[in-house]
Every structure is written in C-alpha cells, then in structure tokens.
C-alpha cells in the first residue's frame, strides 16, 4: 500500500488510483499486442505479407517479403507505439507521484512536460513512419521508388495542440511553485 499525501483531497486520490490502474491496464494490453505481433512474425510471416499486400494494393504478381523486410516494416510502423509506451509509463508515474508527493511539486510538472513533449513528438513520428513504411514497401515490392506518399491526419494536429497545452501547463505549475516558495520565504 502506498502512503498517501494528507494534503491531497480524497477525490484526487481516487482519480489517481483510477488513472494508475487505467495506465497499467493499457501497458498490459500493449504488452499483449506486442507479444501477438512477435508471435505472428515468428510463426506466420506469409499471412503478414498477405496483409501488407492487401493494405498497399500490391497485386497478385507480388512475390512476398523476406523475414527481415517484414520485421523492418513492422518495426517502423511501431515507432509511435514506442512513444506511447513512454507516455503511458510517465502517466502512471505521474498519478503515483501526485498521490504520494502532491500536485504542485517540480516532479509533477516535469512529468507533465515529458508527457506533453511525447504527445507532440507522436505527430511527426507518425507521419514519418507512414512515409518510410510506404517507401520501403514500394521499394521492396516494385524495386523502385516511383511513388511516394506523405500525409497527415487531423489527429496529428490535435496531438501537437494538446501536447503544447500540457507543456505550457507544466511551465505554469513551475512558476506557481516558484512564486509560492518566494512568498513562503518572506513570511
């Protein structure tokens, strides 16, 4: 059992427990997903190749990918998943930290800032990983790079904006902590 900070309300403590369990559940689901993908790569490379063929409309004359090529395509597609893992671990630590040490402390602001920057990073990483995957599939399937595809989604814009909000809130928290400490020094 964790020690709870007595200065934090019972409502915030309940929310942090819920957040911690939700983040833990999400991490477990992510581990199951990764295990499933690695199992599929090890046992059913042909089915994964068929799914890639269907997703990229490669046609019936496509010969397939090697195990290395399938692994490289899947690893590139999972770049945003790696950022999601970092974000979920930091969110879990944020909830535990709020419950144990408080809301307006530098560690909470630092963790919030990390979450914000990870969310911001998800947009360009998502765009670039899709670009690289498309380029690799076209190069390995057609032996050329005649067509390229670079696109972004509205969720990429939302991610940047939400990430910036979190970064700004973390800076506001640090400034509030600094002002509080200055005022406490005068008393």
Q: What is the pLDDT of residues 102-144, one digit of tens each?
A: 888 999 999 999 999 999 999 999 999 989 888 888 888 777 6
**pLDDT tens sequence across 27-73:** 999 999 888 888 887 787 777 777 777 777 777 677 777 778 888 88
- How far is Cα 83 from Cα 154, in angstroms, rounded to an integer? 19
Q: What is the pTM of this model?
A: 0.81
Taking 70 as the threshold, does the pLDDT of residue 169 lie above it?
A: yes
- How far is Cα 108 from Cα 12, in angstroms, rounded to an integer? 14
* Cα angle: 69, vertex 35, 124; to 5 degrees: 60
Taking 50 as the threshold, does the pLDDT of residue 89 lie above it?
A: yes
Q: Which two three-digit tokens encode residue 13?
A: 């403590």
Do 70 and 49 meet the contact criterion of CB atoms below 8 Å apart? yes
- DSSP-derived 3-state class of residue 13: helix
Taking 50 as the threshold, does the pLDDT of residue 1 lie above it?
A: no
Taking 80 as the threshold, does the pLDDT of residue 94 lie above it?
A: yes
- How far is Cα 91 from Cα 24, in angstroms, rounded to an integer? 10
CA-based R_g, the chain, Å: 22
pLDDT band at 2 (very low <50, low <70, confident <90, very high): very low
Numbers of helices and strands, H then E, in the chain: 6, 0
Token pair 């670039």 in the structure block, residue? 128
């Amino acid at each position: 059992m964790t020690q709870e900070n007595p200065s934090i309300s019972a409502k915030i403590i309940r929310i942090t427990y819920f957040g911690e369990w939700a983040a833990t559940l999400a991490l477990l689901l992510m581990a199951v997903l990764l295990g499933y993908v690695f199992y599929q790569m090890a046992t059913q490379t042909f089915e994964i190749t068929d799914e890639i063929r269907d997703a990229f409309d490669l046609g019936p004359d496509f010969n397939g990918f090697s195990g290395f090529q399938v692994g490289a395509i899947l690893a590139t597609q999972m770049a945003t998943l790696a950022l999601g893992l970092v974000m979920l671990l930091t969110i879990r630590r944020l909830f535990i930290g709020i419950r144990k040490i408080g809301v307006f402390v530098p560690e909470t602001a630092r963790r919030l800032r990390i979450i914000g920057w990870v969310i911001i990073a998800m947009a360009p990483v998502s765009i670039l990983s899709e670009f690289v995957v498309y380029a690799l599939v076209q190069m390995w399937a057609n032996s050329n790079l005649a067509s390229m595809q670079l696109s972004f989604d509205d969720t990429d814009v939302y991610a940047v904006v939400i990430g910036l909000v979190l970064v700004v809130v973390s800076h506001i928290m640090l400034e509030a902590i600094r002002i509080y400490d200055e005022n406490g020094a005068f008393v």
